[in-house]
Amino acid sequence: MKVPAIYNFPPFFTRQVNENTWQSQKSAWQKWIHIWCREHRITQLSIHAELLDSPLVHNEAIHRTLPLPVFREIVEDMVKQNYAEWTQKKEPRDTFWVYWRSIAEWGNIITKWLFDTGRDGAVCTYYELQEQCKEVDCLEEGLLHKVLESLMKKGNVELMKGSSGKYTGFKVLSTS
């Protein structure tokens, strides 16, 4: 994975007070978060102390770590720009989905897989989809459900609940 040069610049890990500089810094952090998550196939992150040990926000070589409140501010901006979404609807929010692919892009991947594997009219479980379609095996269950809901709205699938009352599968209505 190619690390951006700015990652080795110590001020990158300190919130800049000049507004224009801060906007550029936030943008650079957002790009880095997407690169890092995509490379590691991570679609969900939590803002907890353990994150401080992660190379995402901690550069061992220069002994710098982005403070969690600054990281949260960056995530809030990502949410506003639809590059991320909080998994919790109410405060306190600490877990979010990272959209290094949009919901529509994930939906297109699933639709293509359903078409390529001849699944029109078939019933498929979330587990089966993630086991057999390796491109979506990194999707956390809540995000997978959100993607499938988008396909339901387009008329491609009908979501199905299991005996627990929780959505666990779907029927393929159309892959076109």
Using one digit for the tens of pLDDT, what is the confidence trace for 47-93? 998 999 999 999 999 999 999 999 999 999 999 999 999 999 888 89
> What are the tokens at 92?
């306190």
Strands 167-172 and 84-86: unpaired
Is residue 149 located within the same domain as residue 67? no
d(CA 136, CA 41): 9
CATH code of the domain covering residue 155: 1.10.10.10
Number of domains in the chain: 2
The pTM is what? 0.90
Is residue 75 located within the same domain as residue 44? yes
Is residue 11 located within the same domain as residue 89? yes
pLDDT at 176: 66
What H or E segment, with its residue span, contains residue 23?
helix 19-39
Nearest to 21 by CA among 8, 6, 34, 32: 6
